[in-house]
Structure formats: C-alpha cells, structure tokens
Amino acid sequence: MSLFRTGKSFIPNVNQVRCRSKLNIQRPKVEILPRRILKAVTEPILIPKKVDVAERCARKNTFYVPKRKFEVNEYEEFLFRTCQNDLDQNKMVIICQSMPCLLRDYNKTKNKFSGIDMIMVKINNKLMMRAITGTRRENLLPLLVGSSVYILSSDVRIKEAMTLLKKVNHLVVMGILTDDHILSHEDAVRLAQTDLETQRGQLVSLLGQGASKTYSLLNSHQSNLVRNLEQYIRQSDQSSPDQ
C-alpha cells in the first residue's frame, strides 16, 4: 500500500487479457438415421481408371519440374545502361576497392571528388562484369575484387585524383583506365609524382637535340670538304716556291 500511496506502483511489461468469448469445442450433432441412409444411397460410385503397371511405375519415378518464366528486371537493365554510359562518356575511370568505413566518411570523400569535377559511384561487380565482357575493356575483369568504387572524370587528371586518394584510407586503387590504356597502381603513382612542365621541357630538349644532330650530320660532309680543300691549297702554295 505504501507503493500506491507514493505513486511508485509496479507496472508489468506484459499484461494478460482474457477474452470474453469462449472457444467452440462442441462436436457437430449426429444426423438422424434416415438422412444418413439417404446420403449413402444417393452418393455416386466412381469406377477407378485402369492404369497400366508400367505407366504407373513411370509416373512414380518421374518428377514434375515447373518451368520458370524468365522475367526481365527493369531496374537492373537501367543500372546496366547507366554503367555502359559512364564507361563510354568518361576518359578516365579509376577502379578502387572499398574498405569498411562509416557512411559519413564515404560521403565526405564523395563530396571532395565532386569539388574537383569528378564523380564517385559504387557499381555492383556483376553489372560491371556484364558491361565489359566481350568488349575492349575485358582486361579489367581481374581488377574487380570485393566491393568496388569507381571514380569517373571527363578529362585525364591522374595527379589530382592520386593526390586526393593519398588522404583517403578506405579506398585502395586497383587500376586506372585512360584512353583505352590500363595503368596499374605503380604506374599511376609514378605519373602522379612526375611534373608535367618538367616532362614537357625534357620532350622539347629531346626534339631539339635530334634536330641539331641532324643539322650537324648534314653539314659535316661540306665542312670536311672545305677543310680538305683548304689544306690542299696550302700545301700546293708551299710547294710552288721550291719548284
């Protein structure tokens, strides 16, 4: 009573409620004898069909296998067409293996790639295998391991993508597809470390070195001829006074 007075009454988690209606456990009444006799007399007698013994055994040994109707999943076909369009319209596709991470970190990484005009999408491996099987991108099949994430870009910008991926722990680069060329992770790291301006300067120097070498080779015969003629004239001048 003290609990009820203080307002701290015990309230159980499960309450038992009793139904007012009773269960119907009565047996059906037995019909009268004339009615039962009338039913037994008027009931039709069906003669069983005679089945051959061989046919009966064949029926027991065979199992009925229902034919399954092939239904096209429209949503899966839509994702398949979207995957094909992504591969055809983008010049650079980075294939990454996704490690376990929080949804907050995944969305943060996705927003970072969106800030540099790149798209980060997650595509089922079955759809990607179906999209690249039998095409010129079939060599990408060994790179599809586990849960894959794809980074799409309309331009080839390996250095920017690799710089951002260095700061992300839950994405492992498996390979890069650029202009029908497949680059491994080591190739991508080497290209990201090299400076584009330095490569251009080296290319210009190599081209200029070839042109200068070609010019020197073409003029070497003329210079040798002139040198030999000068030496011959000098020797002839020195020998003429003695004669």
- Is the CA virtual torsion 89, 95, 97, 100 positive or negative? negative
Backbone phi and psi for residue 181, each to the nearest 5 degrees, phi listed first: -120, 135
What number does CATH give the domain 75-193?
3.30.70.1730
pLDDT string in tens for the chain (243-residue length): 555 555 556 666 766 666 666 667 778 888 899 998 998 889 888 888 877 777 776 666 555 555 556 677 888 888 888 888 888 888 888 888 888 888 898 899 999 998 888 889 888 888 888 888 888 888 888 888 888 889 998 888 888 888 888 888 888 888 888 877 888 888 888 877 776 677 777 777 877 776 777 767 777 777 777 777 777 777 777 776 555
Residue whose tokens read 């010129």: 136
**Domain ranges across the chain:** 75-193
pTM exceeds cut of 0.85: no
Which amino acid does the sequence have at 45?
Answer: I
Q: Which pair of tokens denotes residue 174?
A: 């498996």
- 3-state secondary structure string, 163-213? HHHCCCCCEEEEEEEECCEEECHHHHHHHHHCCHHHHHHHHHHHHHHHHHH
In this prediction, residue 100 carries a pLDDT of 87
CA distance 133 to 147: 18
What's the rounded Cα separation, in Å, for the pair 127 and 182? 20
What is the residue-wise DSSP string for 54-121?
HHHHHHHH----PPPP----HHHHHHHHHHHHHHHH-SEEEEEEEPP--HHHHHHHHHHHHHTT-EEE
Name the amino acid, one letter, at 48: P
Task: Give residue 62's pLDDT.
Answer: 56
pLDDT at residue 70, as a whole number: 62
